[in-house]
Structure 1
Amino acid sequence: MTRLFNDPTAFADEALDGFVAAHRRWVRPVTGGVVRAGATPAGQVAVVIGGGSGHYPAFSGLVGRGLAHGAAVGNVFASPSAQQIRSVARAAHGGAGVLLMYGNYAGDVLHFGQAAERLTGEGVEARTFAVTDDISSAGPEETAKRRGIAGDLPVFKAAAAAAERGLPLDDVLAVAERANARTRSFGIAFSGCTLPGADHPLFTVAQARMAVGLGIHGEPGIGEEPLPTADEAARLLVTSLLAELPDDVEGPDRQRAAVILNGLGSVKYEELFVVYRTVAELLTDAGVEIVDPEVGELVTSFDMAGISLTLTWLDDDLEALWRAPADTPAFRKGALGTPEPVRAEPVIAEETDDLAAPEGSDASRRAAAVVLDVLDALAATVDAHVGELGRIDAVAGDGDHGIGMQRGSTAARRAAVDTHALGAGAGTVLVRAADAWADKAGGTSGALWGSMLRAVGTTLGDEDAPTAARVADGVRQASAAVRRLGGAEVGDKTMVDVLVPFADTLAAATAEGVPLAAAWDRAAGAAEAAAAATADLLPRKGRARPHAEKSLGTPDAGAHSLSLITRAVHGVLNDHIGEAI
């Protein structure tokens, strides 16, 4: 388990601070993560990688010459926010565009995509690319749905080495696509990991058993088998990967492959070497030429006891890119010339909105005071249920929903208080709360809750007192935004299963002339029923999808948290009957 921490909610930030203090020869801090200590050479594409904390040396440990130009670092097992990614990308940009790279997880897809849109709008050419190497997370006919695990490293490395050659952005992206198409990974685990502050692991494996096909966020595997010997584990890993070759690889004989045997946190190096001796023997017997193998901890999951094997099938160009020199805190290969001088610049300050806020009307400012009470109730509800939400999420996911909601709601409340003190109306208060939620929570829920609050705030505005009909319209806009952004629909076992009936019921009730508090009560009832009904659904989206059967009988964590919040908000509206909202 994770034993050394202070405040668990500050763990990721404090870990990053310590990492920077220990590795100033390679990196310097910027808001949202780190960039190389030296500037990106003018005219060179900047490769910016990123993901949640808890996977060191991914992602910050891979920043340096020959590899990434920067890394955006999210909270524990949560994607960095779009603002964090944008901040790191702008600091790393050398004038030739930015390639944003990450593992294929819903939160990362949302936030990196939003960051790319914002960068492009600001004149920074940006592309995104998601690594999809894990063969256990989707079948060969659905490779785009696969998650990224230890295959992140060879794909990141190929793209970064191509950037070092001076290739233009679209060519660097093409290299990443080719490397990813030729990369496959498979893993096993013997025990789950424990998040900082938690008193139990995200999943457990019975004694003398192993989980097969695990994920790097603590997701349980797709099945269990008897505990193997080291040779049996090696055979399982190798045969699983040789059974699925890339389309343009006819067979393993006379093929070259970069090989990574990765430790996930608490499997020691000597154990890895025992396994690798048989991995190397089996691959050689199959006719594979092993090129510059890596054995060690490269993409971890806190203290998970597990290992994964990655094969990247090489052509001449990919081999040259894999062998190219690199010098980072956690990954070094070959020899580079004289180190670039460390830039003595101060830390790049976080870009924030202007301290001033548009002044709202008297009626809207009164409504904003009610919004503060709503956000108070929301945060208190999350605090009261944070453990429960984490346990529900851990059934088939990574168990971080509670702590992510807690980070987001706390940040939203703080931003709302500050904005209200500037004289802002209800709309601006909600919009700035939305941005704070998305920025501090990260992950899928951070992006979706940020979009919801922003949609409601934009609809309410700062001029008029919100009417019941306008509030209902704002909630309908929020429902549409979440479906558009996340791609989920009713029946996918997500928060959408609650949000849609809640929004529709609220709109119907207010259209009948029902006062807001009573209409909200009716809609909250619909939300509670819909959340309970998700227990009978199989997930079709997100990290829970590969473990669909495990979630039967358990409601979706995002749906459950939303239903709890709708009921808490009804209490606030009841207390304010007859006021401006």
Structure 2
Amino acid sequence: MTRLWNAPDDFPDEMLAGFVAASGRWIRQVPGGVVRSTRDPRPTVSVVIGGGSGHYPAFGGLVGPGLAHGAAVGNPFSSPSARQVESVARAAHQGRGVLLSYGNYAGDVLHFSEAEAALRADGIDCRTVRVTDDIFSAPADRADQRRGIAGDFTVFRIAGAAAAAGLGLDAVESLASRANARTRSMGVAFSGCNLPGVDEPLFTVPDGRMAIGLGIHGEPGIAEVDLPTADGLAQLLVERLLADEEVPLPDGPSSARVVALLNGLGSVKYEELYVVYRRVAELLDVAGVVVADPHVGEYCTSFDMAGVSLTLLWLDDELERLWFTPADTPAFRTGSVRTSLPRPAAAASTERPDGPLPRASAESRQLAARIVTALDAGHAAIDAAAEELGRIDAVAGDGDHGVGMRRGTRAASHAAAAVAQRGAGASTTLNAAADAWSDKAGGTSGAIWGVILRAVGRELGDEADPTAEDLVRGLNRAVEGVTSYGKATVGDKTLVDALVPLADTFAAAVGAGADPALAWSKAAAAATRAAAATADLLPRMGRARTHGERSQGTPDPGAVSLAVLARVVEQSLSPVD
């Protein structure tokens, strides 16, 4: 289990501080993550990577000449927020554009896409390559839905090498996409991992069994088999990777030269990995596959998970040339990198200084005070429910929903209180809460709750006397925003299954002339019933999608947490008159 931490909520910040203190030769800290401590002799395209913490050396350990220019670092197993990604990208940008690259997970897609839009709006050419190497997470005909696991490393490496060669953004994007299309990975686990401060592992594997097709965020395996020998494991990994239908080789695997990456996920150590790799090398040789560059070690971990993955990158002449160029990062070094120049101390940041607040009416300021009360109570309720939310999330997901919601509600409560004390109205207060929630929670839930709070805030405004009809419109805008942003609809087993009944029931009750407090009570009850009913659904979106029937019988944690907060509003915040 993960043993060394102080306060669990402080773990990512303290981890990053220690990493920076130990790695100043390569990196320095900026808001949201790290960037190189040196700059290229001539400006290049900037490669910015990122994801949740808990995966070292991904992502900060891969920042340096020949690889990434910056890494946004989120909470354990949660994507960094859009604000974090944007901050790192602005600090890393050298004037020739930015390539964002990350594993294909819902929260990462939402936050990185939002950051990309913000950069483009400011005239910074920004592109994205999502890594989709995990062959077990979706069939070959839906390869774009696959997750990114240890194959992140090969894609990042090619992108960084292309940038270091002075290529333009079009070429860097194209080569990174080609590397992704030619990278395949498969993982197995013998036991789950523990998040800091969580007593139980995110999943367990029976004695004598092995989970296959697991995710790097503690998602349980898609299937279980009897525990094989080291040679048996090597055969399973090689056979499955070579059999993938979409390996992009005109003459089949026998024409291939590959980079082979045998990755330990946390507590399987080097001696064991070498026993497995011995047989991997033999099997690839028998298949006529030439290993141009073998790597055995830890490249993308999952805290203390006992697991192994094998990644193969099928090379072509251009990819092979780029692969063997020099690189120098905290976790990966090869060849001799030219001496780089120190980076100037100042860095771009998206931190917003305290400034004048929009003018607010007395009625709106009163509502802002009630919003602060509700957010305080919401944080207390989520804190009490966090362990259960994590438990139901771990059934078919990564188990971090309760931790993320706790961070998000705490940050939102503090941010809202700070601006309300300065005289902010309802809209400004909700926007401050939305920014803080999204920033500190990260992940899908952080992005979605940011959308909800901003949508409601826009309709309530700062200067008008808020009405129940304003809240009706705000909830409707929240539904529109969430479904557009996350693409989920009712029946997909997500937060939307509770949000839509909440909004519809409140609107119908207000339209029928019900007292706003009674209308909200009816809406909260509808959301609670709908959240419970998600137990009967099969997931069609998010990480739980890959586990199908495993999640049936367990409600969706996002829908449950929304219902918890709806009840809090009923109890502590009288709806607007």
Q: Does 1:465 align with 2:465?
A: yes
Q: Does 1:352 align with 2:348?
A: no
Counterpart for residue 516 of structure 2: 516
The alpha carbon displacement at 1:538 in A equals 0.4
- Checking the alignment, whether the CA contact within 8 Å between 2:86 and 2:350 is kept in structure 1 is no
Counterpart for residue 294 of structure 2: 293
- Per-residue CA deviation, residues 494-549 of structure 1 (Å, 9 max, x unaligned), is 00011111111111111111121100111111111111110000000010011111
Amino acid at match of 2:498: V
Moved over 4 A (4+): 346-350
Structure 1 residues 140 and 274, CA gap change in structure 2 (3 angstroms): same
- Checking the alignment, whether the CA contact within 8 Å between 1:40 and 1:46 is kept in structure 2 is no
The alpha carbon displacement at 1:356 in A equals 2.3
Counterpart for residue 251 of structure 1: 252
Amino acid at match of 1:147: R
Counterpart for residue 79 of structure 2: 79
- Per-residue CA deviation, residues 130-175 of structure 1 (Å, 9 max, x unaligned), is 1000000000010010000000011111111111111111111111
Matches within 5 A, 1:389-404: 389-404=389-404
Q: Distance in 2 between matches of 1:103 and 1:349?
A: 24
Counterpart for residue 284 of structure 2: 283
Matches within 5 A, 1:123-142: 123-142=123-142
The alpha carbon displacement at 1:349 in A equals 5.7
Q: Does 1:308 align with 2:309?
A: yes
The alpha carbon displacement at 1:43 in A equals 3.4
Say which SS state the counterpart of residue 91 (structure 1) adopts.
helix
Q: Does 1:201 align with 2:231?
A: no
- Per-residue CA deviation, residues 288-335 of structure 1 (Å, 9 max, x unaligned), is 110111100000000000000001111000111111111000011122
Counterpart for residue 223 of structure 1: 223
The alpha carbon displacement at 1:250 in A equals 3.0
Amino acid at match of 1:13: D
Unaligned runs of 5+ in 2: none
Q: Distance in 1 between matches of 2:442 and 2:42?
A: 31
Aligned residues: 576
Q: Distance in 2 between matches of 1:562 and 1:42?
A: 50
Counterpart for residue 437 of structure 2: 437
Q: Distance in 2 between matches of 1:249 and 1:132?
A: 21
Q: Distance in 2 between matches of 1:171 and 1:375?
A: 47
- Checking the alignment, whether the CA contact within 8 Å between 2:91 and 2:347 is kept in structure 1 is no
Matches within 5 A, 1:478-517: 478-517=478-517
Say which SS state the counterpart of residue 342 (structure 2) adopts.
coil
Matches within 5 A, 1:177-188: 177-188=177-188
Matches within 5 A, 1:114-193: 114-193=114-193
Say which SS state the counterpart of residue 179 (structure 1) adopts.
helix
Between 425-434 and 344-353, the greater mean CA deviation after superposition: 344-353
The alpha carbon displacement at 1:344 in A equals 5.8
Q: Distance in 1 between matches of 2:175 and 2:149?
A: 19
Counterpart for residue 388 of structure 2: 388
Say which SS state the counterpart of residue 200 (structure 1) adopts.
coil
Q: Distance in 2 between matches of 1:124 and 1:376?
A: 38
Aligned alpha-carbon RMSD (Å):
1.2
Q: Distance in 1 between matches of 2:238 and 2:194?
A: 28
Q: Does 1:418 align with 2:434?
A: no
Between 38-47 and 220-229, the greater mean CA deviation after superposition: 38-47
The alpha carbon displacement at 1:353 in A equals 4.7
The alpha carbon displacement at 1:341 in A equals 3.7
Q: Distance in 2 between matches of 1:281 and 1:315?
A: 22
The alpha carbon displacement at 1:39 in A equals 2.4
Structure 1 residues 41 and 33, CA gap change in structure 2 (3 angstroms): farther
Counterpart for residue 343 of structure 1: 343
The alpha carbon displacement at 1:104 in A equals 0.1
The alpha carbon displacement at 1:342 in A equals 3.4
Q: Does 1:267 align with 2:305?
A: no
The alpha carbon displacement at 1:125 in A equals 1.1
Say which SS state the counterpart of residue 253 (structure 1) adopts.
helix
Q: Distance in 2 between matches of 1:431 and 1:349?
A: 19
Q: Distance in 1 between matches of 2:42 and 2:437?
A: 35
- Per-residue CA deviation, residues 32-68 of structure 1 (Å, 9 max, x unaligned), is 0000111255431000000000000000000000000
Unaligned runs of 5+ in 1: none
Q: Distance in 2 between matches of 1:275 and 1:432?
A: 51
The alpha carbon displacement at 1:124 in A equals 1.2
Identity score, percent: 61
- Checking the alignment, whether the CA contact within 8 Å between 2:492 and 2:541 is kept in structure 1 is yes
Q: Distance in 2 between matches of 1:559 and 1:216?
A: 24
Say which SS state the counterpart of residue 80 (structure 1) adopts.
coil
Q: Distance in 2 between matches of 1:346 and 1:97?
A: 19
Counterpart for residue 232 of structure 2: 232
- Return the TM-score normalized by structure 1: 0.97
The alpha carbon displacement at 1:248 in A equals 3.2
Counterpart for residue 554 of structure 1: 554
- Checking the alignment, whether the CA contact within 8 Å between 1:261 and 1:272 is kept in structure 2 is yes
Amino acid at match of 1:263: G
Q: Does 1:372 align with 2:372?
A: yes
Counterpart for residue 111 of structure 2: 111
Between 485-494 and 357-366, the greater mean CA deviation after superposition: 357-366
Q: Distance in 1 between matches of 2:278 and 2:207?
A: 26
Q: Distance in 1 between matches of 2:78 and 2:101?
A: 15
The alpha carbon displacement at 1:181 in A equals 0.6
Amino acid at match of 2:127: R
Say which SS state the counterpart of residue 216 (structure 1) adopts.
coil
Structure 1 residues 209 and 102, CA gap change in structure 2 (3 angstroms): same
- Return the TM-score normalized by structure 2: 0.98
Q: Distance in 1 between matches of 2:346 and 2:24?
A: 13
The alpha carbon displacement at 1:6 in A equals 0.5
Q: Distance in 1 between matches of 2:411 and 2:214?
A: 32
- Checking the alignment, whether the CA contact within 8 Å between 2:501 and 2:523 is kept in structure 1 is yes
Counterpart for residue 46 of structure 2: 46
The alpha carbon displacement at 1:363 in A equals 1.0
